[in-house]
Chain A
Amino acid sequence: MSNYTATDFFPTWYKSTKLSATPEQINARLAAIDELVHTNEIPFWLDIIRISNGLPPADNTSTSRFVKIFQDEDNTFPITNNTQLLKVLAASAVCFKLEAEDLETEDEEAEEEEEEEQQGQPNDQSKEDEEDDATIITNVNTAISLCITNVNFLGQFKDDPVIPVMTYAQNYLESKPYYQRMREHEEQTNNLDEIVEKLGEEEDLTHEQQVTIVNSIQQLHKENNMLSEELNVLSWIFGEYSKLANCFFQDAGTSLMMIYGPIELHEKTSTLHYINSARGFLHRILSIALGSKKATTVSVVDSINAIPADFKAGLVKQYKAHISELTPYLLAVSKSTEVNAGDDYSAPVKKQTGGGDIKKTFKPDVMAIQIYKEIVFINTLENV
């Protein structure tokens, strides 16, 4: 694990927008970002991602709210002609947010231990609240990471060479689900060990210990569901049969499995939520669907044209509330349903995504993982 955090990098990031930044200004910006990081409102964070990409926020007040947080710490913060400054601060804030969860968890663990030592018994209610907060933060950060990795699918934005937002998001998605699961497993084992020792004694179990047993059972149930889901996915892939296509993968072909594959995979993994191995699973499904044919790249337009009209309509209806420029593929599907069959709908997609080109071609597995991430992203928004 690197010894450096976003706080160490921030002066370098900020220098890209002001060469002569003073330590006071840096500290004021850091204080504002710290304030911001404690916010867990997903719509606001999605608008911050929009600001960092130069897209108009969904909520008109988001920009002024974002500016005010910085203005509260430094009343000379520019309120006009500040587009690039806001982009840099928004991108930085996202990096801090994604990093904050780990730092907070480490700090909280240390603080908890200290408090327990001082007070003897921990407070049950506050512990439950903290667990809820941790779940919310995880969901917010998962939504942020998915949003960042999804938004530039059509290649309309240049990756920032200074602020590595994309790398932060990818690191989060790679590490977090795995660690969350391992941490829960570890905590559950440790907590139960203490109770097992107590059972040999004659004392009754305290409320806290009873809660621990219930939590452990719930976690075991969750873990069991996850294992079942993993087994179901493997059985599904082994069986090579698509319920949505109502035929075997190879009979459906890559054009259909590119969209049905990610949707079915998500349906089978509702407890696992986002799985890192999705790319591998989808690659396997598409390889089977391809059979002995040669793999070719496909444009977003062509892939959408291959989807049956009624399925497209159903998909748009199901996700309508959350389809936006942050879900470029589903946005293109949505726009395709607003025009007559065969008509060009690239212009409205381009306008809304800030220059996204739906004629750009991708490998089928790249397209499939994008669809999977967009669906998981929307489901995360619905579940927070």
Chain B
Amino acid sequence: METLDVDKGECSNFYLADASDIGDTQTVQKDVKKTIGVKLFEGKEMDVHETAEITYKHKAKIIAIVGESDCGKTTLVAELYNGFQKSPNGDLLFAGSQTLIGLEERSHLSKVESNSEEPETKKTANGIFRFLHLALKKKENLRADSVHIILSDISGEDFQRARDSSSSMMELTLLTDADQVIYIIDGEKLAAKKLRQQTLSNAETFIQTALDNGILDAQTHLTVVVSKWDKLVADTSFNFDRDVKTPFTESFASRLSDFKAFPIAARPKSQAVEAAFGLYQLLNDCYLVEKQTTVAGPAKVKSDIDRHFHTMQIQKEL
């Protein structure tokens, strides 16, 4: 990304960068008092500093997507966007994106590069959160402001490290700040009977560790989705409610603000389920989610009990 020195107000197609965003450009840092650091957007996926360009302007909802390697995190993000290009996504309408190129890259770049017939999404890079932006509107209320959703996924490798170590888990503070956390369980692994228990156990371990370390808490909206539902739908030995929804709800729902579980098939490879199965429900949840930050309640100036004792104290003195 290019960083230029431009006088304030010279160009309309820029955003003013914070000093932290331009830390790698020595000249700009030195002269930061004389000129304003300016970044030009490429429309690719953003890093955490660049998301401010959206969050400074709009109220945004942060959706964090986690799951093991190859569970379908990136495919999910790509198909949430692709859905708008194929057909109407229920009553939700696409209202823009600051990361159109990033979304396109996730969706189709690898297909072009590999000349593959089937789309294979670009995998998430290790060690960093990357962010994609979607603005949505509802058909019935087009005059209302768009709802801005910032989607973020982490690489399977980082996720695995966090699951196995509390110190790595503490690096996932984005999950605490996220309005909604989507945990993806790989449906393909659940379809393989030998891997089923291990996969479910891994998911439980991650959520348990995250709750124990305060990464997920009573304000978290957690959605557990089983991906690649087309691989499981005909499997009579697997029952979604019995094997996933009920045990996870019993174990975790009471410690979270909201817990949901349902199956999805973002890009099914068979006719067993319809394309983008479950994605509308997921996207609609992202659209509607409202995180209540009770920790930021006010210092209640004087409680009724304070008042009572204060009165008693005055009466005593009098």
- Is B one of A's binding partners? yes
- Measured CB to CB, the residues of A under 8 A from B are 1-6, 9, 12-13, 15-20, 22, 24-25, 75-85, 87, 95, 99, 102, 161-164, 167-168, 171-172, 175-176, 178-179, 182, 185-186, 189
For B307, list chain A residues within 8 Å (CB): 175, 178-179
Is the Cβ of A161 less than 8 Å from the Cβ of B318?
no
| Per-position binary interface string of chain B over residues 39-77, scored 1 when its CB falls under 8 Å from any chain A CB and 0 otherwise | 000000000110111011111101000000000000000
User: Is the CB of B8 closer than 8 A to any CB of chain A?
Assistant: yes
Instruction: Give the distance to chain B from A199, nearest Cβ to Cβ, in Å.
Output: 20
Is the Cβ of A161 less than 8 Å from the Cβ of B55?
no
For B32, list chain A residues within 8 Å (CB): 75-76
Is the Cβ of A19 less than 8 Å from the Cβ of B177?
yes
Is the Cβ of B301 less than 8 Å from the Cβ of A182?
no
- Nearest B residue (CB) for A182: B314
Is the Cβ of B303 less than 8 Å from the Cβ of A1?
yes
- Nearest B residue (CB) for A99: B299
B interface secondary structure, majority = loop
Instruction: Give the distance to chain A from B265, nearest Cβ to Cβ, in Å.
Output: 31
For B317, list chain A residues within 8 Å (CB): 186, 189
| A28–B178 alpha-carbon span in the complex (Å) | 25
Instruction: Give the distance to chain A from B14, nearest Cβ to Cβ, in Å.
Output: 9
Is the Cβ of B310 less than 8 Å from the Cβ of A2?
no
The listed residue (B51, B291, B296, B303) touching A9 by CB distance below 8 A is B296
Query: Which of B15-23, B82-90, B182-190, B231-239 lines the interface with chain A?
Result: B15-23
Is the Cβ of A1 less than 8 Å from the Cβ of B300?
yes
User: Is the CB of B139 closer than 8 A to any CB of chain A?
Assistant: no
For A178, list chain B residues within 8 Å (CB): 307
For B48, list chain A residues within 8 Å (CB): 19-20
| A202–B293 alpha-carbon span in the complex (Å) | 63
User: Is the CB of B311 closer than 8 A to any CB of chain A?
Assistant: yes
Given contacts A3-B299, A9-B297, 11 further A-B contacts (CB under 8 A): A1-B302, A6-B298, A17-B52, A17-B55, A84-B57, A84-B58, A95-B298, A164-B297, A171-B298, A178-B307, A186-B317
For window 268-294 of B, CB contacts with A under 8 Å fall at 290-293
Is the Cβ of A182 less than 8 Å from the Cβ of B310?
yes
The count of residues in chain B whose C-beta lies closer than 8 Å to any C-beta of chain A is 46
Contacts known (A76-B37, A99-B299, A102-B301); A189 close to B318, Cβ less than 8 A: yes
- Measured CB to CB, the residues of B under 8 A from A are 8-9, 15-20, 32-33, 36-37, 48-49, 51-53, 55-60, 62, 174, 177, 290-293, 295-303, 306-307, 310-311, 314, 317-318
Is the Cβ of B177 less than 8 Å from the Cβ of A83?
no
| A162–B61 alpha-carbon span in the complex (Å) | 12
Is the Cβ of A171 less than 8 Å from the Cβ of B300?
yes
Contacts known (A1-B306, A17-B56, A83-B57); A76 close to B297, Cβ less than 8 A: no
- Nearest A residue (CB) for B302: A175
| A163–B291 alpha-carbon span in the complex (Å) | 12
- Nearest B residue (CB) for A10: B296
The listed residue (A4, A19, A162, A163) touching B55 by CB distance below 8 A is A19
For B20, list chain A residues within 8 Å (CB): 20, 22, 24-25
| A83–B148 alpha-carbon span in the complex (Å) | 14
For A87, list chain B residues within 8 Å (CB): 59
- Nearest B residue (CB) for A186: B314
Is the Cβ of A161 less than 8 Å from the Cβ of B291?
yes
Contacts known (A18-B52, A20-B51, A80-B16); A167 close to B297, Cβ less than 8 A: yes
Is the Cβ of A99 less than 8 Å from the Cβ of B301?
yes
Instruction: Give the distance to chain A from B46, nearest Cβ to Cβ, in Å.
Output: 10
Contacts known (A15-B177, A182-B311); A164 close to B291, Cβ less than 8 A: no
* A-B contact list, 11 entries, CB within 8 Å: A12-B295, A12-B296, A16-B293, A18-B55, A18-B56, A79-B16, A99-B298, A163-B296, A164-B298, A175-B302, A179-B302
Instruction: Give the distance to chain A from B147, nearest Cβ to Cβ, in Å.
Output: 12
Instruction: Give the distance to chain B from A137, nearest Cβ to Cβ, in Å.
Output: 14
For B16, list chain A residues within 8 Å (CB): 76-80
Instruction: Give the distance to chain A from B74, nearest Cβ to Cβ, in Å.
Output: 20
For A78, list chain B residues within 8 Å (CB): 15-16, 18, 56
For A1, list chain B residues within 8 Å (CB): 299-303, 306
| A22–B52 alpha-carbon span in the complex (Å) | 12
| A79–B18 alpha-carbon span in the complex (Å) | 11
Contacts known (A76-B37, A81-B57); A6 close to B51, Cβ less than 8 A: no
For A22, list chain B residues within 8 Å (CB): 18, 20
For A185, list chain B residues within 8 Å (CB): 314
Is the Cβ of B18 less than 8 Å from the Cβ of A84?
no
For B292, list chain A residues within 8 Å (CB): 161
Is the Cβ of A19 less than 8 Å from the Cβ of B298?
no
For A3, list chain B residues within 8 Å (CB): 299
The listed residue (B33, B59, B299, B306) touching A75 by CB distance below 8 A is B33
For A85, list chain B residues within 8 Å (CB): 55-57
For A95, list chain B residues within 8 Å (CB): 298
Contacts known (A79-B8, A161-B293); A25 close to B18, Cβ less than 8 A: yes
- Shortest 10 CB-CB distances between A and B: which pairs? A2-B299, A175-B302, A85-B56, A20-B48, A9-B296, A81-B57, A12-B296, A162-B293, A78-B16, A18-B52
Is the Cβ of A80 less than 8 Å from the Cβ of B15?
yes
- Nearest B residue (CB) for A25: B18
| A182–B60 alpha-carbon span in the complex (Å) | 45
